[in-house]
């Protein structure tokens, strides 16, 4: 016999789009995002998180520059239109062009029709990123949704404890991470992301690609993790839409039980990494 049920104080119902599984045109990618938005709205979600470069494709070579645009370009306008149509806040990825530079960005569009946040990927992954993009220079990007503070990171960013800890110190409750995690790095989704959620007492919403793209095999394994490090929802290897309720009581309880942040000893931590010499 099961014990008594604890009532859930839903602070946000979120959706994660895993996919698309095949490289497509911008129009095909936007159609896939719209289909996910329609399903998310029907399920009562307030926020839809899509993968890294979801609107354009990620490993697309010279097409990256051809598809790059400013924040007032046609891709962002299309995301605004579907956000308004489904009364849903949408996180989408694309390459941004500004002053001759390209950035790997995630934008957040609200049903009001406004771009309420934009995060440029700070940590660039190998030549795959460094040959195309300039790094962002802002560690913490936040936005408000459902009366909660959300934070943004893009893919490789979440693999750096400094960035996630900076979010925790800045009051982020839910960190959303559009990503393009490829094989053989399943350890990131299965071990590192839950650890980041646990050690910083926040939710992490991790939206990955799946399938193949010009030689890259994406892991899938998109996941929504609670502040206790446990999965609330996890995808397999195929296209999928995850839905999960984020429980305000779980957040408060996690922060009460897990005192890592309060128990730190910053008086002993060096201003620069151990062993580093100027």
Indicate which CATH number applies to the domain containing 37.
3.60.110.10
Active-site annotation holder among 96, 145, 155, 210: 155
Is 210 among the residues known to form the active site? no
In a domain, 277, yes or no: no
Q: What is the pTM of this model?
A: 0.94
Is 52 known to be catalytic?
Answer: yes
Which pLDDT band holds residue 21 (cuts at 50, 70, 90)? confident
Could you tell me if residue 65 is inside a domain? yes
63 pLDDT above the threshold of 70 = yes
pLDDT digits over 28-59, tens only?
A: 999 999 999 999 999 999 999 999 999 999 99
Q: Is residue 91 part of a domain?
A: yes
* pLDDT bracket for residue 275 (50, 70, 90): low
143: pLDDT strictly greater than 60 = yes
Identify whether 209 is part of a domain. Answer: yes
pLDDT at 274 over 60: no
Percent of the chain with pLDDT over 70: 95
Domain, as residue range, for 65: 10-257
- 273 in a domain, yes or no? no
**Residue 151 reports pLDDT greater than 90:** yes
Q: How confident is the model over 153-179, as a mean pLDDT?
A: 97
Question: Measured over all CA atoms, what is the biggest interatomic distance in the chain, rounded to whole angstroms?
Answer: 64
pLDDT band at 273 (very low <50, low <70, confident <90, very high): low
Number of domains observed in the structure of the chain: 1
pLDDT tens-place string over residues 6-17: 445 677 899 999
pLDDT the model gives residue 11: 78
Q: What is the pLDDT of residue 272?
A: 73
20 falls in which pLDDT band (50, 70, 90)? confident
Domain assignment present for residue 278? The answer is no
């Amino acid at each position: 016999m099961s014990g008594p049920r604890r009532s859930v104080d839903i602070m946000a119902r979120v959706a994660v789009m895993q996919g698309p599984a095949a490289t497509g045109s911008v129009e095909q990618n936007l159609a896939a995002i719209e289909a996910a938005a329609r399903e998310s709205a029907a399920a009562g979600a307030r926020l839809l998180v899509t993968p890294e470069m979801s609107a354009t494709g990620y490993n697309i070579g010279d097409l990256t520059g051809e598809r790059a645009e400013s924040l007032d370009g046609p891709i962002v306008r299309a995301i605004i239109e579907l956000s308004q149509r489904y009364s849903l806040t949408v996180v989408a990825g694309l390459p941004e062009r500004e002053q001759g530079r390209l950035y790997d960005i995630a934008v957040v569009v609200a049903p009001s029709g406004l771009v309420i946040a934009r995060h440029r990927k700070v940590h660039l992954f190998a030549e795959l990123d460094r040959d195309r993009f300039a790094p962002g220079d802002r560690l913490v990007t936040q936005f408000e949704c459902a009366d909660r503070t959300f934070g943004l990171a893009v893919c490789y960013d979440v693999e750096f404890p400094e960035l996630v800890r900076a979010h925790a110190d800045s009051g982020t409750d839910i960190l959303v991470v559009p990503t393009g995690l490829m094989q053989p790095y399943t350890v990131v989704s299965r071990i590192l992301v839950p650890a980041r959620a646990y050690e910083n007492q926040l939710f992490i919403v991790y939206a990955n690609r799946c399938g193949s793209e010009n030689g890259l095999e994406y892991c899938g394994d998109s996941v929504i993790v609670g502040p206790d490090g446990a999965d609330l929802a996890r995808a397999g290897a195929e296209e999928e839409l995850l839905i999960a309720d984020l429980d305000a009581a779980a957040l408060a309880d996690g922060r009460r039980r897990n005192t890592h942040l309060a128990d730190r000893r910053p008086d002993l931590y060096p201003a620069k990494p151990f062993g580093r010499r100027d």
